[in-house]
Amino acid sequence: MEILDGKHIAQTIRQELHEQVESLIRRGMRVPSLAIVQVGNNPASTTYVTNKLKACREVGFNARLVSLPADISQQQLLAKINELNSDNSIDGFIVQLPLPSHINETTVTCAINYHKDVDGLHPHNVGLTALGLPGIVSATPRGIRELLMRYGITTEGKHVVVIGRSNIVGKPMAMLLMQKPYLSLPKMSAASLGDATVTLCHSKTRNLKQICLTADIIIVAVGQPNLLTADMVSEGTVVVDVGINRIDDPSSEKGYRLVGDVDFQHVAPKCSFITPVPGGVGPMTIVSLLQNTMQVYMDSITV
């Protein structure tokens, strides 16, 4: 069994991005710039946002936090988004989710200028991904694709089971995996992912265990500790755990620890490759956001 070390791969990609930024600076050009909008102060969101801003600064991007109160009206938030849409000093921005319950996430996502939508969540970018056309790919699926590619794991003809049908992970992941690779990544190497036989499972799926037992690769993105157990996994399967769940742990300094959706201890020995939590998909999601920002920046200077 080999660990898919997202922390290490993300560090390598940050180094690559840093070198690209240095080269821009040497040529007297401006550096890419990302803004993050956070509404309220949900502790998990604060951790993610802090890590995203830190990663941005590490590679030399400009990074701006737009912190808004939890009781901001939807209209005020939309006005702020419009401001960022027309701010030429910002290449891309994201609105950290979840939002307070009085704000409609779909309305907010649709209000973002899709050229600046570095989360890849706007219907325009989701549509491009569905059609296999170049656009901005949702950060977590992009990160998983990169992680598999860098470990030389191919998907052609393989049965990939995706568990979870979220707009942010499950659906775009399934779309990327089933595509003809040359359609999805025209500017990149032929060693891209795609051509898989994809089964998308969710909470109403019957026989989840039987389906998982026929998988070559299982990607779990549900948000439920121990959802994937050892009896559901065949020998040699690749397992990608997208879950990041906080569970109480009085023995830890913070009072909690992070676990994924996979019963790692019992599943790992059966796998050919598996991602750990933390240190697997999480760092790849953050670095994908940086790659999306660099992509938007490059498009803006080459048109």
Size of the residue set binding ligand GUN (CB under 6 A): 9
| Burial label, 2 (beta-carbon count in 10 A; 0-12, 13-18, 19+) | exposed
11 is an active site residue = no
5, 52, 291, 295: which is the annotated catalytic residue?
Answer: 52
CB 230 within 8 A of CB 192: no
119, 241, 261, 263: which is the annotated catalytic residue?
Answer: 119
96 is an active site residue = yes
Contact flag: residue 119 with ligand GUN (CB under 6 A): yes
Contact flag: residue 35 with ligand GUN (CB under 6 A): no
Contact flag: residue 94 with ligand GUN (CB under 6 A): yes
CB of 37 to ligand GUN, least distance (A): 9
- Could you list the beta-strand ranges (E) of the chain: 2-3, 33-39, 62-68, 92-95, 159-163, 197-201, 217-220, 237-241, 245-248, 256-259, 271-274
CB 103 within 8 A of CB 79: no
Contact flag: residue 296 with ligand GUN (CB under 6 A): no
Comparison of 24 and 95: residue with beta carbon closer to ligand GUN: 95
Comparison of 24 and 55: residue with beta carbon closer to ligand GUN: 55
Contact flag: residue 179 with ligand GUN (CB under 6 A): no
Contact flag: residue 139 with ligand GUN (CB under 6 A): yes
How many C-beta atoms surround the C-beta of residue 12 within 10 A? 12
Q: What SS3 class is residue 221? A: coil
* Cα separation, 291 vs 288, whole angstroms: 5
204 is an active site residue = no
80, 91, 96, 291: which is the annotated catalytic residue?
Answer: 96
Stretch that binds ligand GUN, among 6-14, 66-74, 90-98, 264-272 (CB under 6 A): 90-98
CB 185 within 8 A of CB 149: no
Return phi, psi of residue 93, to 5°: -150, 160
Fill in the amino acid letter for 88.
N
* Cα separation, 230 vs 132, whole angstroms: 34
Q: What SS3 class is residue 51? A: helix
* Cα separation, 197 vs 139, whole angstroms: 22
Contact flag: residue 55 with ligand GUN (CB under 6 A): no
* Cα separation, 296 vs 276, whole angstroms: 30
Strand-pair partners of 154: none
Contact flag: residue 108 with ligand GUN (CB under 6 A): no
Question: What is the DSSP code (8-state) at residue 232?
Answer: G
Identify the residue among 68, 97, 208, 268 touching ligand GUN (CB under 6 A). 97
Comparison of 216 and 261: residue with beta carbon closer to ligand GUN: 261
Stretch that binds ligand GUN, among 5-13, 56-64, 94-102, 223-231 (CB under 6 A): 94-102
Q: Given the structure tokens 């599943």, which residue do they identify?
A: 267
Stretch that binds ligand GUN, among 88-96, 177-185, 187-195, 218-226 (CB under 6 A): 88-96
Contact flag: residue 285 with ligand GUN (CB under 6 A): yes
CA angle 185-276-6, nearest 5°?
Answer: 40
CB of 136 to ligand GUN, least distance (A): 12
Comparison of 85 and 197: residue with beta carbon closer to ligand GUN: 85
Binding site for ligand GUN (CB under 6 A): 94-97, 119, 139-140, 168, 285
Q: Which residues are catalytic?
A: 52, 96, 119
